[in-house]
Each structure stands twice: as structure tokens, then as C-alpha cells.
Amino acid sequence: MTETPVSHETEEPEVSLEALQTVESFTTALNNFNWRSDYLRFCEVLGFTPDSYAEEKYQQFRELVSYLDCFDKDAIAKMIEAGK
């Protein structure tokens, strides 16, 4: 079976100053919250009762912060611009 070729845009999206500032603000705020907070503070901020659901969400939050650090801010801004 032959697959139909998928067209991918080859142009890199323009990265606006606004997108870069948004990425910087977002990633800095999440990293600060991660650094300054613990599980109980996480639950308090989000209105969670400390239970298995909240523990799962806390682990997902920590993974989110970790994975955001895998990309530089310019790359994240490009993805934001491409998604508009």
C-alpha cells in the first residue's frame, strides 16, 4: 500500500517578541512555582484535596516543567507562532 505524501511547510514561522515574552514569562513562572512549592502547596493553589488524583497531577506538573526545559525558549515560541 502506498502512502500519500504529506506536505510539510518548510518556512520557519516568524517569532514575534510577544511570543518570546509569553514563553519567558510562562516558563519562568512555572519553574519558580516548582522550585518554591511542594506537594501540599500545589494542592492548596489548585484547590485539590491531597489524594491519589492530586498526586498524579503533581507528578504530571513536575514532568511538564522538566519537559519544558528540554526546549529552548525560541523553539517554544516558534511552535506557538506555528500553531496560530
Cell of 26: 510562562
Q: What is the pLDDT of residue 67?
A: 95
Residue-wise pLDDT tens for the chain (84 aa)? 556 555 555 566 678 899 999 999 999 999 999 999 999 999 999 999 999 999 999 999 999 999 998 999 999 999 988 988
Q: Give the chain's end-to-end CA distance (angstroms, integer).
A: 34
Tell me whether residue 35 is in a domain.
Answer: yes
Q: Residue 82: which residues within 8 A CB-CB, separation 6 or more?
A: 13
Tell me whether residue 67 is in a domain.
Answer: yes
Domain that holds residue 54: 17-82
Q: What is the pLDDT of residue 42?
A: 98
Q: What's this model's pTM, rounded to 2 decimal places?
A: 0.76
**DSSP 8-class letter at 12:** P
Look at the chain and report how many structural domains it folds into. 1
Tell me whether residue 41 is in a domain.
Answer: yes
If residue 60 lies in a helix (H) or strand (E), which one and from where to where? helix 52-68
Tell me whether residue 12 is in a domain.
Answer: no
Q: What is the pLDDT of residue 9?
A: 57
Q: Is 75 helix (H, G, I), strand (E, B) or coil?
A: helix
